[in-house]
C-alpha cells in the first residue's frame, strides 16, 4: 500500500528517532524498538522495557511480537492496498460485477467506518475519491502528463460518491452501484493499522508503548522516564522547529496536510488533497491539521476531512462535534495556529505536570 500522502510532522520528545530500514528488536537502555516499512511508508513500535517482566522468555516473546507485527501489517496491505493487484480492495475496484462480493471482516469494518465518517462530514471524506486522485496523479498512476481538463474532471466526478457502495457485515461483503466505482483507503488504513498494532501489544500485556505508521500515532502509559509521552508538532516550513508540544494520554493522533505532497505545473501548486465536491485540489490556506481521538483510524479519516473543509468550515465542524483539532494556517509568509477548545487540554503549557 503506497500512501504518498503527508507524513505527519510529529517528533517524539524524550526519545530518539530510528532509521526507516527494517530493525527487528533493536534494544536501547530503556526500550525495545521494532521498525520497518509498510503501506509505502515506515513504522516504529517503541516499547518501554519495564513491560518486559510480563514476557517470561523475553527473546522468544520478542520474536513472536516481531513476527506478529509483520504478519498483521502484511495482512492489512493484502486487504486494503490499491497498489497490490490481488488485494481485496483491488479485486473489488477492478470487478465489473455489481453483485455482492465476499470480503474479510477487517475490510468490511474499515469500509463501514469510512462510510459512517463520510456521512458525518457531509462527504468531505470519501473513499470513492480514487478516480479523481488517479486523474490528478496522486494514485498508482503518478503525476498526469497534463493538468486534467474540465471535461475529464466532470467525468471522474460522476464516478465518485460514497453512497455508490454498500457493505454487509454478516456475511462480510460489499457491492457497488457502477463498474467505475474505485475505493481508495489510503486516508484511513494507516490509522487502522496503528490501532491493530496497538491491540496486538495490548494482547501481549504491554502497557507503556508508542506505535507510529507514517506519522499516525497511538500511545499508552508512560515513556521510559515514567512521564506521559510528549509529542512535538513540527513547523511546516522545513525548519524542523517545534510548533507545539502536546501530551495526549492513552489516545491516538493523526495529521493531514499538503506541504510534503504536491506537484507544480506552470508555477501553480497542486495539493494531493482533492475536494470531492469540486473534483480539484484544495486551494485554501490550511496547510496542516492534527486530530486527537481514541481511535487512530477515526483520527486519520477526520484529519483528511477537515483538511478538505479548510480552516473555517473545518474549525466549525470540529467545535460542533467536540473534536480536538490543531490547525496551522498560512497567512502571507507566516503561519498561524488555530486550536479548537477540546484541544487545549493536550497542550503541555496548559497542563499542571
10's enclosing H/E stretch is: strand 10-12
The number of angstroms, rounded, from the C-alpha of 172 to the middle of its chain's C-alpha atoms is 24
Q: Yes or no: say if 261 and 251 are a contact pair by the CB < 8 Å rule.
A: no
Q: Yes or no: say if 138 and 4 are a contact pair by the CB < 8 Å rule.
A: yes
Q: pLDDT 10s digit of each residue in the chain, 353 long?
A: 443 333 344 454 433 222 223 344 555 557 889 999 999 899 999 999 876 655 566 778 888 999 999 999 999 999 999 889 999 999 999 999 889 999 999 999 999 999 999 999 999 999 999 888 888 887 665 655 578 899 999 999 999 999 999 999 889 999 999 998 999 999 999 999 999 999 999 998 888 999 999 999 999 999 988 999 999 887 776 667 788 899 999 999 999 876 555 555 555 556 678 899 999 888 888 888 999 999 999 999 999 999 999 999 999 999 999 999 999 998 888 889 999 999 999 998 755 44
Rounded-to-integer distance, Cα 276 and Cα 202, Å:
37
Q: Yes or no: say if 325 and 315 are a contact pair by the CB < 8 Å rule.
A: yes
Note the pLDDT of residue 113: 98
Note the pLDDT of residue 130: 86
Q: Which of 344, 171, 98, 110 is nearest to 244 (CA)?
A: 344
Helix (H, G, I), strand (E, B) or coil at 81: coil
Note the pLDDT of residue 281: 86
Burial of 266 (C-beta count, 10 Å sphere; 0-12/13-18/19+): exposed
Rounded-to-integer distance, Cα 336 and Cα 319, Å:
18
Check: CATH 1.10.3980.10 for 91-176? yes
Name the maximum alpha-carbon separation found in the chain.
64
Q: Yes or no: say if 281 and 138 are a contact pair by the CB < 8 Å rule.
A: no
Amino acid at each position: 500500500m503506497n500512501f504518498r500522502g503527508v507524513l505527519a510532522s510529529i517528533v517524539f520528545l524524550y526519545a530518539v528517532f530510528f532509521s526507516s530500514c527494517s530493525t527487528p528488536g533493536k534494544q536501547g537502555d530503556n526500550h525495545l524498538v521494532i521498525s520497518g516499512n509498510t503501506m509505502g511508508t515506515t513504522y516504529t513500535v517503541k516499547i518501554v522495557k519495564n513491560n518486559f517482566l510480563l514476557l517470561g522468555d523475553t527473546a522468544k516473546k520478542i520474536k513472536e511480537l516481531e513476527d506478529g507485527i509483520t504478519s498483521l501489517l502484511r495482512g492489512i496491505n493484502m486487504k486494503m492496498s490499491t497498489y497490490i493487484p490481488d488485494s481485496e480492495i483491488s479485486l473489488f475496484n477492478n470487478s465489473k460485477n455489481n453483485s455482492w462480493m465476499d470480503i474479510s471482516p477487517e475490510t468490511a469494518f474499515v469500509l463501514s467506518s469510512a462510510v459512517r465518517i463520510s456521512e458525518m462530514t457531509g462527504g468531505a471524506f470519501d473513499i470513492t475519491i480514487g478516480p479523481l486522485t488517479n486523474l490528478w496523479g496522486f494514485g498508482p498512476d503518478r503525476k498526469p502528463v497534463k493538468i486534467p481538463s474540465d471535461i475529464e474532471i466532470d467525468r471522474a466526478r460522476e464516478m465518485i460518491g460514497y453512497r455508490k457502495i454498500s457493505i454487509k457485515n454478516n456475511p462480510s461483503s460489499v457491492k457497488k452501484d457502477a463498474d467505475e466505482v474505485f475505493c481508495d483507503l489510503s486516508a484511513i488504513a494507516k490509522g487502522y493499522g496503528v490501532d491493530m498494532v496497538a491491540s496486538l501489544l495490548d494482547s501481549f500485556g504491554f502497557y507503556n508503548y508508542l506505535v507510529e505508521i507514517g506519522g499516525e500515532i497511538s500511545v499508552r502509559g508512560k515513556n521510559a522516564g515514567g512521564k506521559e509521552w510528549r509529542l512535538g508538532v513540527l513547523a511546516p516550513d522545513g525548519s524542523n522547529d517545534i510548533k507545539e508540544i502536546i501530551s495526549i494520554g492513552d489516545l491516538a493522533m493523526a495529521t493531514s496536510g499538503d506541504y510534503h505532497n504536491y506537484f507544480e505545473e506552470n508555477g501553480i501548486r497542486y495539493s494531493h488533497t482533492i475536494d470531492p465536491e469540486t473534483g480539484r485540489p484544495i486551494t485554501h490556506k490550511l496547510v496542516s491539521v492534527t486530530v486527537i481521538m481514541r481511535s487512530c483510524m477515526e483520527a486519520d479519516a477526520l484529519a483528511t476531512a477537515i483538511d478538505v473543509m479548510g480552516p473555517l468550515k473545518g474549525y466549525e465542524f470540529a467545535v460542533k462535534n467536540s473534536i480536538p483539532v490543531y490547525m496551522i494556517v498560512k497567512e502571507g509568509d507566516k503561519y498561524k495556529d488555530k486550536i479548537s477548545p477540546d484541544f487545549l487540554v493536550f497542550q503541555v503549557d496548559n497542563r499542571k505536570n
